[in-house]
């Protein structure tokens, strides 16, 4: 995740290890590579005290270690979900991104984006401790300095709307990027509705 965070983000390639005790043969450890909430899977290498290491680089690949020796383990998706259900339930929700657009020259949301704001609110309410990043942007009409001020005003306007809905102001950052990061590249002084926007990251 490339955006600063105040809390641990999702672990990509959720590599989970679970020690299961066998009644008659001592401890047995299971190691599995499972997808994160976005469906992404990475890899891990399991190195036992003796013998060769084993790379787990496929979705749901698993290995078991007992007595210092490692061997591949064939576990179904259902078995993995049951085995790691507590760890899976503890994963943070995946970040969500939204774009809201503005009427030209000001900080008033378009009618469509005002409706989209309801989806933003619904997503925030799903999270026990939401962390929000609001970034304002403009098109290239006007001076750079004016657009910097307008972009920040747009971000702060959306932040105020979120705070008015009861969300903690400490969990919402607002900043402006002016005309520096357009979604659609244009020449100077060209009005482009898709660049008049606020981007919201909900974590």
CB atoms near residue 148 (< 10 Å): 18
Q: What is the pLDDT of residue 133?
A: 98
**Cβ neighbours of residue 175 under 8 Å, at least 6 residues apart?**
134, 135, 136, 152, 155
Q: What is the DSSP string of 111-130?
A: HHHHHHHHHHHHHHHT-SS-
CB 65 within 8 A of CB 31: yes
Q: Which one is predicted more confidently, 53 or 89? A: 53
CB 19 within 8 A of CB 29: yes
Q: What is the pLDDT of residue 5?
A: 33
The DSSP symbol for 95 reads: P
Give the integer Cα–Cα distance in Å for 113 and 159.
14
132-136 and 172-176 beta bridge pairing: parallel
**E runs forming strands in 52-93:** 54-56, 62-66, 69-73
Give the integer Cα–Cα distance in Å for 119 and 194.
19
| Segment (H or E) for 30 | strand 26-33
pLDDT in tens, 20-66: 443 345 578 889 998 876 677 888 899 887 778 899 988 899 999 98
- pLDDT > 90 in the chain, percent: 58
Q: What is the pLDDT of residue 15?
A: 47
Which residue ranges form the domains of the chain, and what is each CATH number?
A: 15-89 (no CATH), 96-202 (3.30.1330.60)
Question: Taking the complete model, does pTM exceed 0.75, yes or no?
Answer: no
Q: What is the pLDDT of residue 22?
A: 39
Q: What is the pLDDT of residue 202?
A: 97
- Left (φ > 0), alpha (ψ -120 to 50) or beta: where does 122 sit? alpha
CB 158 within 8 A of CB 100: yes
Helix, strand, coil % over all residues of the chain, rounded to 5:
25, 30, 45
Q: What is the pLDDT of residue 21?
A: 40
Given pLDDT bands bounded at 50, 70 and 90, which one contains residue 14?
very low
pLDDT of residue 99 exceeding 50, the answer is yes
Give the integer Cα–Cα distance in Å for 41 and 27.
27
**Cβ neighbours of residue 109 under 8 Å, at least 6 residues apart?**
100, 101, 102, 103, 117, 158
Q: Which residue, 78, 38, 46, is CA-closest to 64?
A: 46
Q: Which one is predicted more confidently, 28 or 120? A: 120
């Amino acid at each position: 995740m490339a955006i600063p965070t105040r809390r641990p983000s999702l672990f990509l390639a959720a590599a989970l290890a679970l020690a299961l005790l066998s009644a008659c043969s001592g401890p047995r450890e299971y190691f599995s590579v499972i997808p994160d909430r976005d469906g992404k899977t990475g890899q891990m290498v399991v190195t036992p005290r003796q013998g060769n290491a084993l790379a787990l680089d496929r979705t749901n690949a698993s290995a078991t270690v007992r007595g210092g020796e490692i061997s591949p383990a064939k576990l179904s998706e259902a078995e993995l979900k049951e085995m790691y259900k507590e760890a899976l339930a503890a994963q943070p929700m995946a970040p969500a991104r939204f774009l809201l657009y503005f009427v030209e020259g000001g900080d008033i949301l378009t009618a469509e984006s005002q409706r989209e704001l309801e989806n933003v609110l619904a997503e925030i309410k799903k999270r026990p401790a939401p962390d929000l990043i609001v970034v304002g942007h403009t098109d290239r009409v006007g001076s750079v300095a004016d657009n910097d001020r307008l972009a920040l005003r747009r971000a702060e306007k959306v932040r105020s709307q979120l705070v008015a809905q009861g969300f903690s102001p400490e969990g919402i950052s607002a900043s402006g990027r002016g005309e520096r990061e357009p979604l659609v590249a244009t020449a100077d002084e060209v009005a482009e509705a898709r660049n008049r926007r606020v981007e919201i990251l909900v974590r």
